[in-house]
Structure 1
Amino acid sequence: MCNHGKREESETKTKTTKQQKVKSVKKKMTLMKFQDLPQYMKDNEFILDYYRCEWPLNDVVFSLFAWHNETLNIWTHLVGFLIFVGLTVMSLRDDTELGGLLGNLCRASVSGPLMMMTVMKMTDLNISSTQNVQFPPPDSHLRQISLASSIIHANKENGYDAIPRWPWFVFLSGAMGCLVCSSLSHLLACHSNRFNFFFWRLDYAGISLMIVCSFFAPIYYCFSCNPYSRFFYLSSISVLGILAIVTLLSPSLSAPRFRSFRATLFLSMGFSGVIPVVHALVLHWGNQHIFVALGYELAMAIFYASGAAFYVSRIPERWKPGKFDLAGHSHQIFHVFVVLGALAHSAATLVVMDFRRGSPTCGY
């Protein structure tokens, strides 16, 4: 009887332990409120609910397909990553040097008077090599695009398309690296204090990487005939990017109170491109490609600055705490603006590449 009683007691303790473990797992799987979070996860006091906190790693990974306050943060940049993967695949599958579909997409995006001025400029540059091209009457936008494509095809036949591709792929790699790092950080940082420490620094490093890589293609193509200027600008932004990454990896500067400092650092890196832009305008004044590219770069700057403004101000959740926990809060808006800014820069880069293809020699 004594042994039987001991066995029952042992079985009861085992069941109790299992129940406690099940309850513990269920507790970890529950979405938490802001006030219940550990201190290291308290970043935005205006988002009050739907936090994942110290979930098992498998559950954290599969929360990619669940609904919580990071879902849209993850997917806004994951979709952007897939867009740039598509651009990379399209570029790699292009049989001609920097021509084909990407160039046509870029030229088709330049509408109205800007498209017509670009076509006129290209006609002036290549009048001797386009005698066999049939020019459609300029009575429709589609025919203007057809004209541009015909001229570019003629340029390719004359070997005007042979420019290096690697600066374009540097930008694409930087954009993909930034976006995937951001998605991974928002997905996995909630697992533990150690993951939180690592992945948010990875996120900051990814932003710096994209900013640096964004400079390479425009500077390389705009200053192809000015190697000293090209080397100076690319070296400067590379050094600045490395310093930024080192600074942002510092634990003391990753605290929430340094949010404004981080945003200012990113913006400073971005707006450091003003000097090479002004220099490029002076060198290539009057070239319509440069003005079109500048328009896209201004759009990029507006997108990035607007996103940073939402990121720092925490609007709109600041106005109604708890109302934007799942959708519509500032970080999600910031992510959308980042993707739009990267796409605007892609268009600008393609226009500059098109300009360089049309200027095979250095006449200045």
Structure 2
Amino acid sequence: MLSLIKLPRVFTINQVPQVFHEDGIISGYRHPRSSATDCILSLFQLTNETLNIWTHFLPTWYFLWKLLTVVMMRDVWHDSFTWPLLVFLVSCCIYPLASSCAHTFSTMSARARHICFFFDYGALSLYSLGSAITYSAYVFPDKWVNSLFHQYYIHIAVVNTVICTTMACYSRIPECQLPKFSKFLRTVAFAYPYLFDSFPLFYRVFLCVGEDCTDNKANILHHTHIALAFLTAFLFTTHLPERLAPGSFDYIGHSHQLFHVCGIISTHFQMESVEQDMVTRRHWLLAHSLPITFANTLGAAMLCVVISLAIIFLFSMRLRWSANQGKIHRDKNPQSQAATKGCWCH
């Protein structure tokens, strides 16, 4: 069937606008004005985005299966202790799906590319909040349970979600003029919430000594998740191996593909460790920890979804305004068109 369909052609880095460029990737680019049909057809040909898409699209179904398993096997409607796990698993389904959709449709136009990744960033921030909610419910070391930090931990995580979604979306504005600054902002937007969320975990597995340190079978899973998380961050920030040999990893083996794979495996071990803690510590936590309510689980997540969608809407409106201003500027100064082509929303 696919042999009868003409697949879209691919281009080199010199044939696409700057906003589509990737460090160390020379070829395999799709047309910067692809139709939705072309974007979907590109799933079945080898481009520099193909494995980026599939390495997140397929795991979405795995996490969805895990979510449905929890819903069917546990009394989630009456057992509020399972609500943090539900929020986390929903976020685990959303972030790879949003990423795969962003990579699929990001070549419809420069404006579409920005909007696609706005949703991707919002989904990652929601995943960070989902992690914080499960950590608060199941992972906090015994010593810190019911502490002042524990009581305000979710509140701070909600604020972090809003700040980091905003920062990540804003990072696309100076991307062409200040690419290093843009990458720095985006890295901070992803790294800061992870480090904050994981602070209780880091204390538990690396620093805590003596009694009340929550040393159980989940700790080895936590160690594996942390190691993979830092490997994921390393790949995202260094652009290795393609930076060492530009053009050699255009289609298979570049850092973003490895970043996706390591990130998914890290999330898997995170899910396993959280579930282990939930089962092992259930009776103690129900007796000693903060009560799990709608407000500090599902309510917090839904609030952040609404706020993140509002942030995405505002940045999308800025795109439209910027495009209109750019059109007026180019109409008045035709010579400036080449200078602005490919940046922000042009």
* Distance verdict in 2 for CA 1:200–1:287, change over 3 Å: closer
C-alpha contact 1:267 1:305 (8 A) present in aligned 2: no
Q: CA deviation at 1:96?
A: 5.3
Q: CA deviation at 1:260?
A: 3.3
Report how many aligned residue pairs link the two structures.
273
Matched AA of 1:361: A
C-alpha contact 1:162 1:357 (8 A) present in aligned 2: no
What is the percentage of aligned positions where both structures have the same residue?
24
Q: Which residue does the alignment assign to 2:90?
A: 173
User: Among 4, 14, 17, which residue is 1:38 paired with?
Assistant: 17
User: Among 120, 141, 150, which residue is 1:230 paired with?
Assistant: 150
Q: Give secondary structure in 2 for the equivalent of 1:246.
A: helix
* Distance verdict in 2 for CA 1:97–1:182, change over 3 Å: closer
Q: Map 1:145-160 to 2 at 5 A.
A: none
C-alpha contact 1:218 1:352 (8 A) present in aligned 2: no
Q: Deviations over 1:117-153 (max 9, x none)?
A: xxxxxxxxxxxxxxxxxxxxxxxxxxxxxxxxxxxxx
Q: Give secondary structure in 1 for the equivalent of 2:81.
A: coil
Give the alignment's Cα RMSD to 1 decimal: 2.8
Q: Give secondary structure in 2 for the equivalent of 1:67.
A: coil
Q: Which residue does the alignment assign to 1:308?
A: 233
CA–CA separation in structure 2 for the residues paired with 1:214 and 1:285? 22
CA–CA separation in structure 2 for the residues paired with 1:202 and 1:363? 34
Q: Give secondary structure in 2 for the equivalent of 1:50.
A: strand
CA–CA separation in structure 2 for the residues paired with 1:264 and 1:92? 34
Matched AA of 1:47: I
Matched AA of 2:152: F
CA–CA separation in structure 2 for the residues paired with 1:249 and 1:200? 8
CA–CA separation in structure 1 for the residues paired with 2:214 and 2:133? 21
* Distance verdict in 2 for CA 1:78–1:284, change over 3 Å: farther
CA–CA separation in structure 2 for the residues paired with 1:308 and 1:363? 32
Q: Deviations over 1:41-81 (max 9, x none)?
A: 1232x111111122121111222222211110001011221
User: Among 70, 75, 84, which residue is 2:54 paired with?
Assistant: 75
Q: Give secondary structure in 1 for the equivalent of 2:288.
A: coil
TM-score (norm 2): 0.71
Residue 339 of structure 2 is aligned to residue 361 of structure 1: no
Bigger CA radius of gyration: 1
CA–CA separation in structure 1 for the residues paired with 2:20 and 2:134? 38
User: Among 124, 141, 150, which residue is 1:207 paired with?
Assistant: 124
C-alpha contact 1:68 1:326 (8 A) present in aligned 2: yes
Residue 25 of structure 2 is aligned to residue 47 of structure 1: yes
Q: Stretches of 4+ moved more than 6 A in 1?
A: none
CA–CA separation in structure 1 for the residues paired with 2:210 and 2:82? 22
Q: Which residue does the alignment assign to 2:249?
A: 324
- Specify every segment of 5 or more residues in structure 2 that has no aligned partner in the other structure, as ranges: 1-5, 291-346
C-alpha contact 2:139 2:201 (8 A) present in aligned 1: no
* Distance verdict in 2 for CA 1:166–1:312, change over 3 Å: same
Q: Which residue does the alignment assign to 1:193?
A: 110
Q: Which residue does the alignment assign to 1:65?
A: 44
CA–CA separation in structure 2 for the residues paired with 1:206 and 1:283? 38
Residue 71 of structure 2 is aligned to residue 92 of structure 1: yes
Q: CA deviation at 1:283?
A: 10
TM-score (norm 1): 0.68
CA–CA separation in structure 2 for the residues paired with 1:313 and 1:268? 18
CA–CA separation in structure 1 for the residues paired with 2:67 and 2:175? 32
CA–CA separation in structure 1 for the residues paired with 2:243 and 2:276? 40
Q: CA deviation at 1:276?
A: 2.4
C-alpha contact 2:132 2:157 (8 A) present in aligned 1: yes
Q: Which residue does the alignment assign to 1:15?
A: none
